[in-house]
C-alpha cells in the first residue's frame, strides 16, 4: 500500500484516524502497532514475519542489556549479536544474490521485503544507542513494536532513530493547529509525488527505453534532468507525507530534505539530501571509525568506507557502489583542496558545479549496468553525433511547463514568499483563510491525477 493510492487515502487512513483518536491514551500504541502490521501486510503478508522477528530480537536484546547493566562486556556482546542479526537479516534478503553472482553461485534468492533497509537500521540504532546509554530501555514490546512498525515512516523513511521519538512514544498530544499543520504537510507531499514526480517521471521512463547510444545530446539531458526532478519530488514527497502523518499523531519526525538542489557544494548537498541517512552513517559508522580525528590517510579511508556503504545500502549492484564512491571521491577532493576555491566562486557558478555533479550521479544511480551508464553519459556529450533532433524539440515543448514548475518548486522561493507575506498582519489574515482552501483544491487535483493516471511508482520502495 502506498500513500498516493485511493485505498490509503479514502479507506485505510480515515478508518485508522477514527479508531486511533477514539482509543484511550494507554492503548494508542497498540493501535499504532497493529495498524503498522496491517499496512505492511497489505501487499506482502509473509514479510510481516521477518519484521516481527526483527522486533523480537532487538527488543529482547534491549531487555538483556538492561539486566547486564553492570557488566560492560556482556552488554557489548549482546549489542553486537543484535546488530549482527539485523545485518544478517538485511544481508540474506538484499545482498545474497549480489554475492552469489560474484562467486558464481546459482542459488535462488528470496524476494526483497519492502522497507527492510529502513526498519533494520532503526532497530540497530536502538540497540547501539542503548549500549551507549544515550537512551533508556523500552520495557513494553508493544511500544517498541509501535516504534518499528509506525506506518508513516515504515516503508521509505525518514530513518527515525529511537532517540527522536523516545519521549513521544509515551507522552504526546495533538491539538487542532498541529493537526492542521500535519494535514497541510501531507497534502504538499502528495502533490510533490502525484503532480510533479509522476508527471516528469514518465518522460524519463520513455527516454531511457530508447537505444541509449542513439540519443541526441539534448534528449539525453532532457531525460536525466527529468529523473533529477523525479527522484527528488518522489522521495521528498514521501518524506513530507510521513512527517505530516506523524504530526497528525503527535510525533515530530526529523526533516529529511532541505532544498538540496540549491546546494553550492557537494558537502552542502549532503547536508540537505536524505538527511536522516547521512546522520545514521555519521553516528554509527563514520564516528566509530575515528571520523576526522585520525591521520589524513585514515580519514580518507573512513570517508570512502562510509560512502561505499551508503551506495551499497541503496541497492545490491555495482552501479550503487560506484554512485556512493563517486560522492566519496568528490567529498574527499572538496575537503582536501577544492572546497576553499568553491567558496570563492560566485554563488551561481558554485551552484552550477554542484548541480552538474549531482545530475551526473543520477545516471549511475538509475542505470544498472556500466555499459548503459557510459553509453548514456557519452550521449549527453554528443557521443551519438547528434546535438538536437525533432524528438528532443517535441519533448521540450511538451514538458517545458512541468520543468519550470519543478525547478521553482525545488527552491525555497515559495517558503520565502510565505514568510514575507506573514509579516504583514493583513496578508497573514488573508492567508489564514486562503491556505485551507488552497490545500483542499490541491488535494482534489491530486485525486484527479490519481484517478486518470496509471503511472504511480515510489522509487525508494525498492530500497
Q: Using one digit for the tens of pLDDT, what is the confidence trace for 314-367? A: 988 999 999 999 999 999 999 999 988 999 999 999 999 999 999 999 999 999
> 193 and 96 in one domain?
no
> 12 and 105 in one domain?
yes
> 258 and 118 in one domain?
no
> 186 and 131 in one domain?
no
> 370 and 240 in one domain?
yes
101 is a domain residue? yes
37 is a domain residue? yes
What is the model's pLDDT at position 141?
Answer: 95
Q: For the chain, what is the domain count?
A: 2
319 is a domain residue? no
What is the model's pLDDT at position 426?
Answer: 79
> 192 and 156 in one domain?
no
The one catalytic residue in 252, 314, 372, 397 is: 314
> 231 and 159 in one domain?
no
> 184 and 160 in one domain?
no
What is the model's pLDDT at position 462?
Answer: 60
Q: Which of these, 146, 89, 84, lies nearest to 113 by C-alpha position?
A: 89
338 is a domain residue? no
> 357 and 224 in one domain?
yes
Q: Does 314 participate in catalysis according to the annotation?
A: yes
Domain end call among 172, 197, 232: 172
Q: Which domain holds residue 207?
A: 178-265+343-452
252 is a domain residue? yes
136 is a domain residue? yes
295 is a domain residue? no
Contact indicator for 37, 69 with CB cutoff of 8 Å: no
- Buried b / exposed e over 90-121, threshold 16 CB at 10 Å, is beebbbbbbeeeeeeeeeebeebbbbbbbbbb
| Confidence category of residue 154, pLDDT binned at 50, 70, 90 | confident
Residue 394 CA neighbour count, 13 Å, CB half: 6
Instruction: Indicate the range of 84-93, 181-190, 419-428 predicted with least confidence.
Output: 419-428
> 192 and 166 in one domain?
no
Contact indicator for 357, 179 with CB cutoff of 8 Å: no
Amino acid at each position: 500500500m502506498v500513500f498516493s493510492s485511493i485505498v490509503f487515502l479514502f479507506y485505510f487512513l480515515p478508518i485508522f484516524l477514527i479508531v486511533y483518536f477514539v482509543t484511550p491514551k494507554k492503548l494508542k500504541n497498540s493501535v499504532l502497532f497493529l495498524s503498522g502490521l496491517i499496512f505492511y501486510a497489505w501487499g506482502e503478508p509473509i514479510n510481516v514475519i521477518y519484521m516481527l522477528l526483527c522486533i523480537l530480537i532487538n527488543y529482547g536484546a534491549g531487555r538483556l542489556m538492561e539486566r547486564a547493566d553492570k557488566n560492560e562486556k556482556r552488554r557489548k556482546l549482546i549489542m553486537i549479536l543484535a546488530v549482527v542479526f539485523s545485518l544478517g537479516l538485511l544481508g540474506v534478503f538484499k545482498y545474497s544474490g549480489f554475492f552469489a553472482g560474484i562467486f558464481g553461485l546459482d542459488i535462488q534468492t528470496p524476494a526483497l521485503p519492502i522497507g527492510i533497509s529502513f526498519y533494520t537500521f532503526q532497530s540497530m540504532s536502538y540497540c547501539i544507542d542503548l549500549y551507549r546509554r544515550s537512551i533508556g530501555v523500552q520495557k513494553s514490546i508493544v511500544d517498541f513494536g509501535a516504534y518499528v512498525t509506525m506506518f508513516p515512516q515504515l516503508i521509505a523513511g525518514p530513518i527515525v532513530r529511537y532517540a527522536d521519538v523516545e519521549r513521544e512514544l509515551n507522552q504526546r498530544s495533538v491539538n487542532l493547529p498541529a493537526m492542521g499543520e500535519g494535514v497541510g504537510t501531507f497534502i504538499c507531499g502528495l502533490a510533490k509525488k502525484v503532480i510533479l514526480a509522476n508527471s516528469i517521471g514518465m518522460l524519463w521512463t520513455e527516454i531511457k527505453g530508447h537505444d541509449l547510444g542513439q540519443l541526441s545530446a539534448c534528449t539525453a539531458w532532457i531525460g536525466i534532468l527529468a529523473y533529477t526532478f523525479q527522484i527528488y519530488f518522489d522521495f521528498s514527497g514521501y518524506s513530507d507525507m510521513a512527517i505530516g502523518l506523524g504530526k497528525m499523531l503527535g510525533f515530530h519526525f526529523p526533516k529529511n530534505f532541505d532544498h538540496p538542489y540549491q546546494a553550492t557544494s557537494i558537502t552542502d548537498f549532503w547536508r540537505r539530501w536524505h538527511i536522516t541517512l547521512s546522520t545514521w552513517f555519521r553516528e554509527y559508522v563514520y564516528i566509530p571509525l575515528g571520523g576526522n580525528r585520525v591521520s589524513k590517510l585514515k580519514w580518507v579511508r573512513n570517508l570512502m568506507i562510509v560512502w561505499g556503504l551508503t551506495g551499497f545500502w541503496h541497492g545490491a549492484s555495482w552501479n550503487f557502489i560506484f554512485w556512493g564512491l563517486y560522492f566519496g571521491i568528490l567529498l574527499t577532493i572538496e575537503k582536501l583542496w577544492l572546497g576553499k576555491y568553491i567558496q570563492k566562486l560566485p554563488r551561481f557558478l558554485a551552484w552550477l558545479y554542484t548541480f552538474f555533479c549531482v545530475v551526473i550521479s543520477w545516471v549511475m544511480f538509475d542505470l544498472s549496468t556500466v555499459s548503459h551508464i557510459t553509453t548514456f553519459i557519452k550521449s549527453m556529450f554528443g557521443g551519438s553525433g547528434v546535438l538536437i533532433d525533432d524528438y528532443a524539440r517535441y519533448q521540450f515543448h511538451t514538458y517545458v511547463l512541468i520543468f519550470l514548475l519543478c525547478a521553482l518548486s525545488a527552491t525555497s522561493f515559495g517558503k520565502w514568499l510565505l514568510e514575507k507575506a506573514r509579516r504583514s498582519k493583513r496578508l497573514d489574515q488573508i492567508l489564514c483563510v486562503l491556505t485551507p482552501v488552497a490545500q483542499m483544491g490541491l488535494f482534489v487535483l491530486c485525486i484527479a491525477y490519481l484517478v486518470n493516471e496509471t503511472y504511480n511508482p515510489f522509487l525508494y520502495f525498492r530500497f
